[in-house]
Structure 1
Amino acid sequence: MNKTSKPFYKKIWFWIITILALFVLIDGAYGAGKSSNDSDNTKTEQKSENKTTEESDDTNDDTNDEEIYTGERGDQISMDNLAILQAYYKIKLGDLMKSGQGGTSYKKVKKIFNSSPSETSSSETSGVKTELAIWRYEDVTITVTFVNNHAVGSAETGLRWKRAKPTFTKKTYNKLSGDLNSEKAYKKFGIPDEVTQMLIFGSYKTKFTWFTGLKGSLGANVSLDFTGESLTGKSQYGLK
């Protein structure tokens, strides 16, 4: 009996380690790949904290006719990027510990984005197939992790909102408490620039990251970690 249970637990922890490693790579690779653009955007945000609607719009200078979406806080993105974001949130995640059961299938995700991914990679261990699919757009990168053909994790990176007003200062960051849930975070600080999600042991693990609208030094950012709807961790760099 010991011989049959041991591989089972090894397989579970293999899944956890594999998916966590993939998301570490996502955070690092796509953050680094966008670093030069992020620096320019962050610098613009710093100069325009009190004039956000007038400045930090270099990327839109050549696309004056581009349709713009304006959110509740007055934050703006292009309608094209909004469509990508809406498609991203249509992806349903399955529980990693249940082989992704209930998660959106690979075939359906391709239908949601109306295209095959820009690139893929896959591996298989002990009969467990893990696949990483990446959709690259002009401003946004969508990454979805599949286990046995079902989505178990996803990430949206590269999106940068044009903020109508500041999102975080060091003072507001220090006041964050455990009663902050994801819905309140959306309403108070605006839709995050980047999102990473995973469903494991029946709980959603979500990371929100803001790069825009921050009062801080070049490269400032804020990340909030949620388990379910509860704030479980936070980190910041460069806030003032």
Structure 2
Amino acid sequence: MSKKVVGEDGRTYKVKKPFYKRVWFWILAVIVVLVIGGSLGSKSNSNHTDNSNKSTSAKTDNSGKITRSQFDSIKIGDLMNNAQGGDTLDSLKKKFGKPQSTSSDTTNGVKTDVVTWTNVAGGFGANVIVSFTDNHAYDKNLTGYKLSRKQNIKLSDFESFNNGMKYSDFTAKWGQPDYYNESLINGSTTIIAGYTSGVKGGLGANFNVTFTNGALSGKTQSDMK
């Protein structure tokens, strides 16, 4: 309702109530508060649900993925001793799940099986490949692993790699390799470590370093600068 007041000029004026004193304003205000409160509650629930889903999703994404440390823990035995002491195929299947593929070959009466897992927590295209004889592992490969290397490894760095350098010292300085192969044959352990990330040079620049019984014994590079 409007209120009548008399001005200084003697005239009567109708003055409306301020909008904030009107009933409709407070009804509308209550409705807005309820709507906003409901929206915030819904958003909170949504965030909680989203976070819950993210957590679940993260667990699902990582579930069954072979980590770098799990690959490193694979034990290999000497091929010339039927790989005794190496992990069995059955034990790795229990740990890593069903492999993507398996192939067999026989050379000089020695049967070998090559088993590949693709459920690797190293990016698309990462594989774990293990070779077995007499159901025991004697060779293991990690390929296609994606690394974000802090170092920028130049050709001059490569040229400074000297034979005899320990594998542990090498990786402490230059980081883990993108490609890794380890085998044990006739009492000798051979590691071939391949580097593709953080390598300075043309497209596809890379280098490999070979370690025999833990010591650097050879190196090759392609298109480094």
> TM-score, normalised on structure 1?
0.63
C-alpha displacement of 1:203: 1.6
When the two chains are superposed, the root-mean-square deviation of aligned CA atoms in Å is 2.5
Cα distance in structure 2, aligned partners of 1:126 and 1:180 = 35
Q: Spell out structure 1 runs of 4+ moving beyond 4 A.
A: 78-83
Structure 2 residue identity aligned to 1:211: T
1:223 equivalent to 2:212? Answer no
Percent identity of paired positions between Structure 1 and Structure 2: 32
Cα distance in structure 1, aligned partners of 2:81 and 2:182 = 16
Equivalent residue, structure 2, for 1:29 = none
Q: Map 1:156-171 to 2 at 5 A.
A: 156-166=142-152, 168-171=153-156
Equivalent residue, structure 2, for 1:132 = 114
Cα distance in structure 2, aligned partners of 1:175 and 1:236 = 13
Cα distance in structure 1, aligned partners of 2:62 and 2:208 = 25
Q: Map 1:1-240 to 2 at 5 A.
A: 83-113=66-96, 115-124=97-106, 128-137=110-119, 138-166=124-152, 168-240=153-225
Greater Cα radius of gyration, structure 1 or 2: 2
The higher-RCO structure (CA 8 Å, 6+ apart) is 1
Given that 2:147 and 2:197 are in contact with CA atoms closer than 8 Å, whether structure 1 keeps it comes out as: yes
Cα distance in structure 2, aligned partners of 1:117 and 1:218 = 32
Structure 2 residue identity aligned to 1:87: Q
Given that 1:122 and 1:130 are in contact with CA atoms closer than 8 Å, whether structure 2 keeps it comes out as: yes
Cα distance in structure 2, aligned partners of 1:154 and 1:213 = 24
C-alpha displacement of 1:231: 0.7
C-alpha displacement of 1:144: 0.4
C-alpha displacement of 1:214: 0.8
SS of equivalent residue, structure 2 residue 141: strand
Any unmatched runs of 5+ in structure 2? 1-54
Cα distance in structure 2, aligned partners of 1:127 and 1:100 = 15
